[in-house]
């Protein structure tokens, strides 16, 4: 346990009664005293605060920044304007996903990549190895930053009390730099919960100040600190992919329903030829959402049967605290990937019924 990495908020989590677990080598709170259901509902109905400082940050600076990142990711970086971000994927030569990430454009010579915690080192090695002759400086800056996500309908009101920046002018998937409680920050209208909200990046040394201030300011709105368990159930209700589950080195982003971030008409990128071919020839399997139609909970890795044949696997399965259903995501052969298709899921030796439903399971009212 002593070798686990810690975010700058580790002591704060313990002080709040966080139940700490090893999450991909990080000592992180899976939940706090309120528990996963209360944390999940607070984020849907009020506000939730998440420490996501374990995520990785990489600076890409230089005249070839856009061209370089465009050559290693699926989305079209040339379409971004200053102050805009997009969701994208790093792909390998087989068309599999090295990681999913956010690409922020600060300027035509300045991009900022945010990658998953568990894959940060792998991504850094991968990205560095692909630099070639591109005129860019790469800087692994993960330990410089804390990242705090404030999510939910009350998030904007709470954060607005701490900054002069007019948050209402920041559109979804846009960002700005500004001060939060006097701390220079990147304020990004992004998140992983299916709610409106912000992700704030700042100097790691200021993490506790920002965290405590946001909790204190949000107290009247009943903000709750939220652990990884709520983060997972929230993203699952919103049917957002989690690397290592719906995405992986041998999973195509097209299979994972991420065709919308695969710009196959843009200039070449790693794995593009494979994705183009998959698109032309069709996919063997597709990611679908399902809902249990009899009591029981499908969990990650449970086998899926269609017409008595084992044909798929659950990638993420859980009770959905807001929807009050048992839901999941799964890969099934494309021919069965249709809304209304009945499937069976093997739950500890029993075959339980489920049905393929539209995703996202949850979509907030705008």
Q: Which two tokens stand for residue 241?
A: 């992919």
Q: Nearer Cβ to other proteins, position 214 or 228?
A: 228
Helix or strand run (H / E) with residue 149:
strand 145-151
How far apart are CB 127 and other proteins at their closest, in Å? 32
Q: Are 196 and 153 in contact (CB under 8 A)?
A: yes
CB of 157 to other proteins, least distance (A): 28
If the CB atoms of residues 206 and 231 are measured against other proteins, the closer one turns out to be 231
Where on the chain is the footprint of other proteins (CB under 8 A)? 19, 30-31, 35-37, 40, 229, 232-233, 295-297, 299, 318-319, 321, 326, 348
Task: Decide whether 130 or 299 has the Cβ nearer to other proteins.
Answer: 299
Measured in degrees and rounded to the nearest 5, phi and psi for residue 132 equal 50, -130
Whichever of 38 and 60 has its CB closer to other proteins, that residue is: 38
Nearest to 196 by CA among 230, 162, 161, 151: 151
Q: How far is CA 128 from the centre of its chain?
A: 23
Least spacing, CB of residue 40 vs other proteins, in Å: 8
Quote the least distance from Cβ 358 to other proteins, whole Å: 23
Nearer to other proteins by C-beta: 208 or 300?
Answer: 300
Query: How many other C-beta atoms can be found within 10 angstroms of the C-beta atom of residue 87?
Result: 17
Q: Which is nearer to other proteins, 19 or 122 (CB)?
A: 19
Omega into 360 within 30° of 0, i.e. cis? yes
Closest CA to 5 of 16, 20, 17, 18: 20
Cβ 36 to other proteins shortest distance, Å:
5
Q: Smaller CB distance to other proteins: residue 123 or 246?
A: 246
CB of 325 to other proteins, least distance (A): 11
The answer to whether the CB of 124 falls within 8 A of the CB of 58 is yes
Joined tokens for residue 217: 């300011």
Nearest approach in angstroms of CB 328 to other proteins is 13
What is 35-97 written as a DSSP string?
-HHHHHHHHHHS-EEEE-TTSEEEEEESTTHHHHHHHHBSS-GGG--TTEEEEEEEE-TTS-E
Nearer to other proteins, 153 or 319 (CB): 319
**Smallest distance, other proteins to C-beta of residue 217, A:** 27
Dist. CA 271–CA 73, nearest whole Å? 9
Distance CA 201, CA 223 (A): 19
């Amino acid at each position: 346990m002593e070798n686990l990495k810690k975010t700058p908020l580790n002591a704060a989590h313990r002080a709040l009664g966080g139940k700490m677990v090893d999450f991909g080598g990080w000592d992180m709170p899976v939940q706090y005293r309120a528990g996963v259901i209360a944390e999940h509902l607070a984020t849907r109905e009020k506000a939730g605060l998440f420490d996501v400082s374990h995520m990785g940050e990489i600076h890409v600076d230089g005249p070839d920044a856009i061209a370089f990142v465009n050559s290693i990711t699926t989305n079209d970086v040339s379409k971004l304007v200053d102050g805009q971000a997009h969701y994208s994927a790093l792909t390998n030569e087989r068309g599999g996903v090295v990681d999913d990430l956010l690409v922020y454009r600060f300027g035509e010579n300045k991009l900022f990549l945010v990658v998953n915690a568990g894959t940060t080192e792998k991504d850094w090695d991968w990205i560095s190895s692909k630099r070639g002759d591109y005129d860019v400086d790469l800087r692994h800056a993960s330990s410089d930053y804390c990242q705090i996500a404030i999510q939910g309908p009350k998030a904007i009101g709470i954060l607005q009390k701490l900054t002069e920046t007019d948050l209402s002018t920041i559109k979804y998937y846009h960002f700005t730099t500004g001060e939060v409680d006097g701390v220079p920050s990147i304020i990004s209208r992004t998140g992983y919960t299916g709610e409106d909200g912000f992700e704030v990046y700042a100097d790691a040394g200021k993490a506790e100040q920002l965290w405590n201030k946001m909790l204190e300011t949000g107290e009247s709105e009943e903000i709750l600190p939220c652990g990884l368990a709520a983060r997972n159930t929230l993203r699952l209700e919103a049917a957002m992919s989690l690397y290592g589950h719906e995405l992986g080195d041998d999973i195509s982003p097209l299979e994972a329903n991420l065709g919308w971030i695969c710009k196959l008409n843009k200039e070449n990128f790693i794995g593009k030829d494979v994705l183009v071919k998959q698109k032309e020839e069709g996919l063997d399997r597709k990611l679908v959402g399902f809902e249990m139609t009899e009591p029981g909970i499908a969990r990650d890795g449970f086998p899926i049967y269609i017409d008595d044949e084992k044909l798929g696997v659950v990638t993420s399965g859980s009770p959905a605290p807001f929807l009050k259903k048992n839901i999941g995501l799964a890969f099934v052969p494309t021919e069965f990937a249709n809304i209304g298709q009945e499937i069976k899921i093997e739950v500890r030796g029993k075959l339980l019924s489920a049905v393929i439903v539209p995703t996202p399971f949850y979509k907030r009212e705008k």
